[in-house]
Amino acid sequence: MSGGWPGLVPSIRRFFLGAASVPRAKRRGETSTPTSSTYYEGMPEDYRWFRQDELVRRCVVTNAFFATMTAGFRTVLEATGEGVDPGDYAYVKEGIDEINKRVNMDLVLFVSQVKRSVHGRAGFEVVLDGDGSPSWLLSLQSGKLKPSLDENWGLRGYSYEGRDVFYGPDEVLYFVNLPLEVDREGLSDVEPVRDVCRARHDLLRENFPEIARTLWAPYTILQADTSGLSREEADRAVSELAAVARVGKSIAINESVTATVVNMTPDIRGLGELLDRFDGAVIGAFGTPRFLLGKPIENRATAYAELEAYVGGPIAHIQRYLKRELEAQWYDRWARKILGDEGVVVPEGEMPPVLVKHRWNPVRVSDVYEMAKAVGALWGSHGMGALGGRLGKAWEMMGWDPSELGEAG
């Protein structure tokens, strides 16, 4: 609610502690964010295919939902030394949970997974409240964000929109995908299937519409006798014949024009098999089970084993990485501040009495499988079932929030 009453507690906090600081990253004009554009040819290629290719979008979003939203997470306290009772520091966990709720950490983790899968990295500006605690995590444009390192590979900060070291090291919550090198740049999951996406695009958006026309209306070749006309008149007559000889149109001709009908018989089965191979290449690259995407499955045992491997493989890998980064970049920093506010000062370089650990709630494979099986049957092959084209409804049936389908830019 813009300009409305913020509530009693936030108002008291503002009165005593001051208002929250404003983000350093500014919004400049109506086209300052990538999602405001539909000019696909001008987009970075990996982001373009995430926007334009429905299968890439579903794979990326499904993986992100499964990793971050399906079962949720919790925080726990872990003692760092003997004789320490984590219960004595319950206020630390309560403070961290309140901060996570304030910044909507569930959505932040979902968006971070989508963006690092597409762009290779994701960053959020840490906007502070008047008391120095985080009030907001502002999602930054991944293509304009770059880590700045010194000669010893130490992190100096982050450059943004071409401005060197625009952010300090602790001003951005940063995630990277496939950090093979120390440069913290990351790699996109879409990169290996760029050519496949281009081929799918040509087949679905360009070739199939032309094929559909030829299936119900054949081509007509008109041969006109223009021997008695000048060249200009002949060209005009041929152009007029071509203009009226459209699909579904009836034309009248005299004896000087000969019409030849050419029936086209495209190999629909072969094209369907080719599309299935393209789909398989994309699905294999992201490791998403086929039945979660509405694709047909062979049998229950195969699908169940595939889902278990999915949860124990790609999903577990994503969750493990996000957990470690949150504990290092987020929980440790704010746990130290909460302890300091309570008079427990932890010197730099020393361990606090307790650590805040991130725990993902376990994904129940059997429950997910049964619901996904039902949703997949309703979706149908290539989205031609009862739920075809209604992705939001399918997500709602799975227990996921459909409103977040369009929030990952």
**Range of the structural domain that residue 240 is part of:** 194-265
Cα-trace Rg, the chain: 29
pLDDT at 291 over 70: yes
Q: Tokens representing 177?
A: 């995908």
Looking at per-residue pLDDT, the higher value among 259 and 167 belongs to: 167
**Residue 145's Cα: distance from chain center in Å?**
17
pLDDT at residue 59, rounded to an integer: 95
pLDDT at 408 over 60: no
pLDDT at residue 141, rounded to an integer: 93
Number of domains in the chain: 1
Q: Tokens representing 262?
A: 């050419």
Looking at per-residue pLDDT, the higher value among 366 and 63 belongs to: 63
Model pLDDT for residues 317-331, shown as the tens digit of each residue: 999 999 999 999 999
* Helix/strand/coil for 179: coil
Q: Which pLDDT band, with edges at 50, 70 and 90, does 124 fall under?
A: very high
Residue 219 within any structural domain of the chain: yes
Residue 44 within any structural domain of the chain: no
Looking at per-residue pLDDT, the higher value among 116 and 306 belongs to: 116
Mean pLDDT of 216-220: 57
**From 7-11, 266-270, 347-351, the region with the lowest mean pLDDT:** 7-11
First and final C-alpha spacing in the chain: 22
pLDDT at 136 over 90: yes
Residue 140 within any structural domain of the chain: no
Q: Tokens representing 129?
A: 């409240």
Mean pLDDT of 100-125: 96
**From 151-155, 284-288, 394-398, the region with the lowest mean pLDDT:** 394-398
Q: Tokens representing 35?
A: 């999602």
Q: Which pLDDT band, with edges at 50, 70 and 90, does 305 fall under?
A: confident
Residue 75 within any structural domain of the chain: no
Residue 105 within any structural domain of the chain: no
Residue 323 within any structural domain of the chain: no
Look over the chain and give the mean of its residue pLDDT values, rounded to a whole number: 81
Residue 356 within any structural domain of the chain: no
**Residue 288's Cα: distance from chain center in Å?**
14
Burial (0-12, 13-18, 19+ Cβ within 10 Å), 58? buried
Residue 220 within any structural domain of the chain: yes
- Amino acid identity of 190? V
Check: CB of residue 360 under 8 Å from CB of residue 71: yes
Nearest alpha carbon to residue 163 among 329, 23, 24, 21: 24
Q: Which pLDDT band, with edges at 50, 70 and 90, does 17 fall under?
A: very low
Cα dihedral 8, 17, 109, 401 in deg (nearest 10): 10
Q: Which residue has the tokens 């129940």?
A: 364
pTM: 0.74
What contacts 364, CB < 8 A, 6 or more positions away? 71
Mean pLDDT of 286-299: 81
* Helix/strand/coil for 301: helix
pLDDT at residue 113, rounded to an integer: 97
Mean pLDDT of 153-165: 93
Beta-bridged to residue 221, according to DSSP, are 260
